[in-house]
Structure formats: C-alpha cells, structure tokens
Amino acid sequence: MPLRPYLSIIYNTSNLDISGFIRSFVLDISITQRLTDAATSVALKIRDDEMKFQQDPMFNGIGDSLDVELFYENHTPDRRLSPGRFYLDRVELSSPPDVINLQAINRPLNLALRTKKTRTFSNLSLGGIVSAIATEHSLGVSGIRENINFTAWEQKDKSDLEFLMDLARDFDHVFRFDDQGRIYFQSWELLDNATNTWDFDKDDILQSPSLRFTQSNNGTYQSFQAEYGTNGETAILLDDFVFSTDTLKGSIVYEDFEQARLGARALWRRSNSLSRLVEFAIEGDGRVKLGNNFSLTGYGVFDGNYQIQELRNSLSNNGWVTEVKGRKLYEESPS
C-alpha cells in the first residue's frame, strides 16, 4: 500500500493549526535547502477561488510566520521533515483562477543583518567572531568551526550577513541558518571527512525526475595558492584528480599559514569541488539531511561516495518526493 504523506502548517501569527483546513486548497509545496545558501526557502501555492485567504483578517502577509512539516502518518521509522519556522517574504496573487503563491525563508525579516558596518575583530578565534555577531542579534550558534585565530580581521562596509557569507567562503566553512533558526557555521572539511549516512542503489531511485550524472573539467585548476604574512609566503594545495594544469592564486592576504591553508582549500572548493555531480529523486524522507555523505552503487564508473549539496522536498498530486543534488567526494582529499 503506498504511503500517504501529510502536510502540517501552524500559522504562528495566531498560533493556529490550519493543516486540516488548508490541505484541500494546497496545489503544491516545496522546501529547498542548499549548503551554499544562508536560508532555507519554502514555496506554497494555494487555490483561492472562494477568496478564503484574501478575505481572512488573520492572513497579514509579509512577516507572518509558519511552522511547516511533512510526514507519513503512523509510519515507522518516522520520516518526518521538520525544517523549522519560516517567515513570509513574498506574496503573489494571480487570477483567474485565483492562486496565491507564498514564499518564505527560515530567517526572521526584522533582524538588522543587512545593515552595512565597518569594524575590526581583534584577538578572536573564528568561532569567537561568529558568536559575537550571533549575540548581537540574539541568535544561537551551531556547527563545529576550525580552530584558527585572528589578530585583526576587518568587516569593511559589509552587512553582518555579507560578512558571515564571506568569512565562510574565504575560510572553507558552511554558513546558513539551521532548522532552529541558529547560525550554522561548520567546517566543510569535517563534513567531507564524516562517515556515510546513507547507501543508495538503483532500487532506491525514482524514475522521475531522471537520475543524471555530470562530470566537467571546465573551470578547474590543478594548483591553488593563498598568500599569508608580510613576506609573500603561500600555502599551496594540489589537485591531481583533474586534467587541468592551471594555477589559481587568491587575492586575500591571510595572517598566518593555518588561515592560508583554509584559504587555499576554499579556492579549490569554489573551482573544483563541483566538477562531478549527481542528481536524483527518492521517495520523500525527512531523515535525509543537507550535508550528509552517502554511497551510490549500480552505475559502474559513476559509483562512489557523494555529499548532499542541495535538497528539494516537494508535495503535490504526485506525492512527496525528495530530490537530491550531490557532489562526488574524491577517493582521497587533495593535499
């Protein structure tokens, strides 16, 4: 017997469970998560021919909050997807027929994260900088950071959101908001080295949308150099798994070797890490998480270990589908 998925929505403006009421009007819902995006997003399409939402005073629009869950009722093990609280940041009405499109992100809209600032963080660790910014906005912090220290690192005419994104990009970390609304700042290398959480084969993969592998040498480099100190010294990372013989040198001058080592790896990640990709879909499963490592078998030379870069969970007339986009992990890490 096919599993029957359910949608739960709590409208937090009035703390009202509208799940039973809204299910018959929802045309589709999708929840998208990317390791390289700070926020998880949800898109909800509602048929509103009877104008139940347009004329409801409870529906205020921008800034309203929603708790969303997808689950299979009375199913073991529990595959529930609970991505947290979302805040409406875009509302559209198209007519005829009357269809409301709601788009929301899991980051409160009233935090002053986009106000540009100039300041210097002195004698702090990477974790200390992240925690200082989180404390300013009354946010929690999750994830494991690399143990590096800064003598003086400048936030120059950047918002806190931009600065955290740049800090993660330049020091090979993931920055996003987790399902509890905390700042998730995580060493990417630790994710790479984690054990596999899942083992997928052909029997697990849905026929639609079709599985697709992509391998490309375009835009890759063999050598990555990050400068540090005052004497022009460089940390170098070599990637012998690509055909390219080109060298990429970063523009940032880091304070010491440990910072530069992460800087070189960050250059590699932006250029080479996505050269081998796979995309496929499985039956809806909220246990499959962003950043999980997994093995994939049954496809010959494309078999191997991969890491989830993007997840899209959607619920429509076709049921609940989890779409996975993963990058292949190298047999051994570049050194």
Question: Over the stretch 255-268, which tens digit does the pLDDT of each residue have?
Answer: 999 999 999 999 99
The angle subtended at Cα 94 by Cα 88 and Cα 95, nearest 5°, is 145
Q: What count of other Cβ atoms lies within 10 Å of the Cβ of residue 275?
A: 20
Look at residue 332 in the predicted model and tell me its pLDDT.
Answer: 47
The mean pLDDT value of the chain amounts to 91
List residues bridging with 155 in a β-sheet: 119
Which of the four pLDDT bands, split at 50, 70 and 90, describes residue 95? Answer: very high
**For the CA atoms of the chain, what is the radius of gyration?**
22
Q: What is the pLDDT of residue 334?
A: 54
> Best-predicted range by mean pLDDT among 99-103, 205-209, 322-326?
322-326
Whether residue 20 has pLDDT greater than 80: no
Backbone angles phi, psi at 266, to 5 degrees: -65, -40
What's the whole-number mean pLDDT along residues 317-325? 93
Tell me the domains of the chain and their CATH numbers. Answer: 5-105 (2.30.300.10), 116-190 (3.55.50.10), 194-216+275-328 (2.40.30.150), 223-271 (no CATH)
pLDDT value of position 63? 86
Buried b (16+ CB within 10 A) or exposed e, 180-197: ebbbbbbbbbebbeeeee
Percent of the chain with pLDDT over 90: 75
